[in-house]
Each structure stands twice: as structure tokens, then as C-alpha cells.
Amino acid sequence: MANVDRNLEELMSHLGEFGKYQCWQFSLHIIGALTAGLHMLTLLTVAAVPPHTCNVPNSSETSNFSTTAWNSSLLTEWSPRAVDACHYLDASNTIQECESWTYDTQYFQSSRGMEWNFVCSQRWMGSVAQATYMFGVFIGAVTLGSLADKYGRKIIFYISSVAQLILGVTVALVDKYYIFLFLRFLYGIFGSAGAYITGFVLTMELVGASKRTVCGVMFQLAFAVGFMLVAVWGAIIKDRMWLQIVYGLHSALLIGHWWLMDESPRWLWAQGRVSEALVIVRKGLKMNGNNVDIDAAKLISEAKVRHVRHEDRSYGALDLVRTPNLRKKTLNVCLNWFANSIVYYGLSLNAGNLVGNPFLMLFLSGLVEIPSYVLMCCLMDRTGRRCILSTFMLIGGLCCIIASSVPTGTSAAASTIVFIVLFGKACIAGSFAVIYNYTAELFPTVVRNTALGIGSMCARLSGALTPMIMLLDSFNPKVPAVLFGFVALVSGFLSLYLPETVNQPMPETIEDGENFGKGDTCFTTCCGSRRKTSASYEVTMNQLGERDEKERLNQVEVAK
């Protein structure tokens, strides 16, 4: 590794793997994951569409929801003149579209879906509202990720925190649908992209290699807890306006972070701001009880020599596809993010449609993720990232397809579908947790936040498409699930071509990232081929170190 990079690793090693300082900073970062999970799925309760019946003009029949399933497309029989939940027969025996509906208020007393009638021919309005948020996250993931690499992790984290608090409360007060969509778009940009991704990267760049797995998975667990809070608050607060306000106020937990949270020392070092990085490292050493003496003058001198050579070079998304090895890894990882997201949100958004109490189904949908994350913590460092990512994606994809093939109509079938869906959700949640850690370890520091941002962008693109794809169930109920499962199966297989990163040093420069993992796939490893990841990477790093040391000495001679 280049001499100055060895100095960075040596400096960070003084902090230890996970001392009091890392624990304190991690506890601040992870709150961003909790609020992200909560904001992402608020529409499941705020804009819920409960069972409903068509209000037939001039009809004296009373509504009866006992035969109305959660799916509004099923027939209802409460009125002799009703055809289904969307149509009725008028006095001349002509089929007409319903203009108003009566909703079952057993679980939901008010919601956007009830106010604006997200049913029948207007069902698209609810899907567009969710897709608009996801599209906002899509935009935020790539723009805020690049901005975090350019201007710093901390500033983007805090701007996102304040924005999600303001937008989370404001969106509850508007009464115009298209203004609501615009605010939901902005809400998506800051609500789940900025604080979550930058908080995750801050943690990955601060803790030791042996703790990245646990910390990365804990971010996913916090996201699931936010998911569960959506169900808990939805069951307690029945007024949709106050419910959304309570959701938005959770971001107040992040307001004090500007004074409590530190910038990433790795990012500061990469920017040539070594003295600022040293201040933070010394603060961490003091909190961890380590009194090691740091030769600040030597470190600053060497870092300045390196930074002078690269001060005019900035890095962005294009650097991820300029060279062949980085390009292959980038495209493969992007497909993995896309597939994980489309299955995860496909199963999550459909959780309320499972038979039973919708709040309980939502809560269970988040709860089943926790055992999966515990299992990830136990397996990831033993089996490696690649194997477990592929396995759980393949299982999750199969669950989607199998669940769509189970015959319906009986209580046993309904229970079977619930089990398969929740099991599939647990598996895809596990693979989703792996891809976050995997991406952070595959790509170099100078573009790590950008890589995570682009990966998240691909995930949010599929998340934005998911509500629209679910509308295809109007043609055939099996189409969405089979499509989700097929994408997961293809991506799960292709992930076997990614290199393994467990117990490998994190690449720092673009050169490091290009040389990392060359020739290492699941197939070369399983066939007994020589593992090239560690060997070729270390040889390359030594060569780079010798080259940089020679350049440093030459510059010193010139200076003399």
C-alpha cells in the first residue's frame, strides 16, 4: 500500500476496532437508519385503502364488509344492484362506475386513500404517491452521495436530517394531491437517502475491519425497527394528519448531531486535510483511553506531498466505469441493489394485503427481518459476502414465485402464503444487509459514498417501479410476484462473479479498486484456482508503495 496510506491505516489502527469513541459515533449514525425505515413506508398507514363497498345511488341497502377481502377487486354482495366494488347496475340495468365508496373503519378511521379515494380507476394515485417518494430517494441517492464525497459526510447528513424533519411534518398539512406529490418527492430525497447512506459510510470508515459486518447489519436492523414503528404508531393514532406529524417528528432525534458527530477521518485524509483528521483521531484516542504519541508533523508533511500530486484530481461516478474491473463490479453491484430492492419492497408493500390485522402483518413483516440480521452477523465473516448474498437472493426469489403459485380460497392456503411471504422477506432482508457491507468494501474511499449512492439509486429506481408493477395484478395476480422472483434469481446467480472481500483491506484509491479482486469469482475459487484477490492486491499495493516512496523522495530532493 502507498506509504501515506500505510500511515493512514496505522493511524486508524490506534483507535482500535470498536472502542468507546466508535460506539458513541455509531450510536449517532444509526439513528439515521431508524428514521429512514420509518419515513420510507409511512404511506402504508397514512394512505391505506381499507376494505370498501360501492355506494349505489338510490339504494337503501346497508354496507356489509364481512365478505369483502382486503383486495378491492374481489366481488361484494352487500347490495343486489352492486356488481363489484367499482361498478353497479343502475335502474336501466346498465353498468356504471362507482363515484363514492363506504370504507370499513375497523382498523383505519382516516387516511389519504379514503379522502382521495385511491380505489378502482383512481388506484394509480396511491401507487404514484409511493413511487414519487421512491423516485425522490432515487435522485437523492446519487446526488447526495456525490456531494458527500465532495463536501463531506457530516454536512450532507445534517442537511438531510433537518430537511426530513421539516418535510415530514409539512406533508401532513397539505390538502391538494399534486402539492402532496411534490412534497413527497422532496421528502424522499432527504428522508431516506442522505442521512442513511452517509451515516452508514461514516460508520464503515470509522470502525475496524472485524466490526464492519456487525455494524453494517445493525443499520439494517435499525431500518427494520423503523418499519415496525410505522405499524405501532398506525395502530395507536387513528387520525392520519397527526399520524404523519408523529412520523415526521422522529427526525428531531437528529437535530443535535451537528455538535455531537464528527467528520470521517478517512475522508478528511483523502482530501489532504490531515490536521483536521488528526484532531478527530486524537479525540477518539482520548475517549478510548489510548495515550499513543502521534508524529503529526511527519504525517502532515508526507500527506501534503501526496496531495500536491492529486490536488487537481476529483472523483465521481464516471470513475466507477472507466476501467474494466471496476466497471464489471459496478454493473453487477447495481443489478444486485436493483433486485434486492424490488423484492424487498414488493413484499413489504404487499404486507397489508395479507389476511389478518394489517398492523400486525406490517409489524411481523419487519420483525422477521431481525432473526435474519442476527444470522447474517454469525455467517458473513465465516462464509464470506459473496456466497451468502447469492444464496439468500436465490431463496427470496423462489419464495416470490412459490407464493404466487399457491392456490387460494382456504384458511390453510392463506396461512401458507403468509408463511412463505414472511420467510421470503426475511431472506431478502438478509441479502439486502449484505449488499450494503459488500459495496462499502468493494469500492475505494475516494468514490465509496458515490458507489453506495449509485447502488442505492438503483435500489430506489426499482422501489419506484414496484408500486407501478403491482398494478399489473389487474391482468393476472401472479405477474408481479413472478417478475420480482425472476429478477432476484438472475441477480443472485450473477453475484457469484463478484470478488470476496471478507478480511481484505479496504481499497483507498482508484488504482486499488481496479486491482482488487481481479480473477476472483466463486467459480475460480470453487474449482481450486489460485485466489488472486489478496495476493494480487497486496503485490499491487507494495508496487504502488514503492512508486509513491520514490516520487516522494524525488520531490524532497527537488525541494532541497
pLDDT value, residue 74: 36
**Domain tally, the chain:** 2
Mean pLDDT across the chain: 77
Q: How far apart are CA 436 and CA 199, in angstroms?
A: 12
411 found inside a domain: yes
Looking at the fold, whether 336 and 205 belong to one and the same domain comes out as: no
Do the Cβ atoms of 293 and 15 come closer than 8 Å? Answer: no
Looking at the fold, whether 385 and 507 belong to one and the same domain comes out as: yes
Looking at the fold, whether 350 and 490 belong to one and the same domain comes out as: yes
Q: Which of these three, 209, 241, 259, is where a domain ends? A: 259
Do the Cβ atoms of 30 and 218 come closer than 8 Å? Answer: yes
Q: Which residue has the higher pLDDT, 79 or 36?
A: 36
Q: How far apart are CA 400 and CA 394, in angstroms?
A: 10
**Residues present in the chain in total:** 560
Mention every residue, 6+ apart, whose C-beta is less than 8 A from residue 520: 499, 500, 531, 532, 533
Looking at the fold, whether 236 and 330 belong to one and the same domain comes out as: no
pLDDT value, residue 297: 47
395 found inside a domain: yes
Q: Which residue has the higher pLDDT, 276 or 2?
A: 276
Q: Which helix (H) or strand (E) holds 199?
A: helix 195-204
Looking at the fold, whether 352 and 235 belong to one and the same domain comes out as: no
213 found inside a domain: yes
pLDDT value, residue 545: 52
Looking at the fold, whether 241 and 355 belong to one and the same domain comes out as: no
Looking at the fold, whether 251 and 343 belong to one and the same domain comes out as: no
Q: Which of these three, 218, 237, 259, is where a domain ends? A: 259
Helix locations, 350-478, DSSP H: 358-367, 369-383, 385-405, 411-442, 445-470
pLDDT at 419 over 50: yes
Percent of the chain surpassing pLDDT 90 = 4
pLDDT at 495 over 70: yes
5 found inside a domain: no
CB-count burial class (<10 Å; 0-12, 13-18, 19+) for 14: middle
Range of the structural domain that residue 133 is part of: 17-54+101-259
In this prediction the pTM is 0.72
Q: Which residue has the higher pLDDT, 157 or 77?
A: 157
The CATH number assigned to the domain holding 134 equals: 1.20.1250.20
547 found inside a domain: no
Q: State the maximum Cα–Cα separation within the chain, in Å, rounded to a whole number.
A: 101
Q: How far apart are CA 530 and CA 520, in angstroms?
A: 9
Tell me if residue 41 falls in helix, strand or coil. Answer: coil
Looking at the fold, whether 331 and 226 belong to one and the same domain comes out as: no
Give me 372's grid cell. Answer: 435474519
Q: Which of these three, 237, 259, 281, is where a domain ends? A: 259
Q: Which residue has the higher pLDDT, 378 or 159?
A: 159
317 found inside a domain: no
pLDDT category at 444 given cuts 50, 70, 90 is confident
Tell me the Cα Rg of the chain: 26
314 found inside a domain: no
Looking at the fold, whether 249 and 124 belong to one and the same domain comes out as: yes
Looking at the fold, whether 111 and 250 belong to one and the same domain comes out as: yes
Looking at the fold, whether 380 and 471 belong to one and the same domain comes out as: yes
305 found inside a domain: no
Looking at the fold, whether 249 and 330 belong to one and the same domain comes out as: no
